[in-house]
Amino acid sequence: MNQAFCHRSFANESGFEEQDNERLEFLGDSVLGLLVVEYLYKTHPKGKEGKLANRKSKIVSAPILAKLAQDYQFEGYLLLGKGERFAGKTNRNIQADCFEAFLGALYLDSGLEACRNFLSPHLRELSELHYELESVMDYKTKLQEYCQKHWKSVPNYLLVNEDGSEHDKIFTVTVTHSSGFAFSGAGKNKKQAEQAAAKLAVQALGLK
């Protein structure tokens, strides 16, 4: 199971190229795909092939899998080479790959049913979560990765205002960074407001 957390950068530096998690990732990707398709087939009896395929692609996307890896704190177990250690543990692609590798290792150790039992409690949540993460993860992650790469530090988000009644509030969040930028965004919850603020920062920095 330890191999599931061994990134190729660590394996290469350690001289154990055959011990990275890429083969397990390859296996886990297929296991994940099967279980997600099985779930969608059973829960959408009238769903057409094209729509089911589109929904599957979103559920198994990097932001979704990275979120699940973060829930299990997989980043704390990742073995990374020197070049990846600073930003690697917050890189959603590395986290998503690690999750797939873990699933591959679980399949080899305990079989498909164990993978199904592990994943089943999350499938409905992940199926619904992609609507939110498609927007939130894109801008916040993009901004964080840019700041880490160029300034070796992450942006900060601060809730600065709440307006409206208890059931109809508008939240305002400001994202700041030591490099000097500050942008404020609003939304119906804190996550939406953070996403709006990050979007303004991303646009101002000229990121695509």
Catalytic positions: 29, 100
Kindly report the three-state secondary structure assignment for every residue of the chain: CHHHHECHHHHHHHCCHHHCCHHHHHHHHHHHHHHHHHHHHHHCCCCCHHHHHHHHHHHCCHHHHHHHHHHCCHHHCCECCCCCHHHHCCCHHHHHHHHHHHHHHHHHHHCHHHHHHHHHHHHHHHHHHHHHHHHHHHHHHHHHHHHHHHHCCCCEEEEEEEECCCCCCEEEEEEECCCCCEEEEEECCHHHHHHHHHHHHHHHCCCC
Separation of CA 176 from chain center:
22
Nearest Cα to Cα of residue 100 among 178, 10, 5, 187: 5
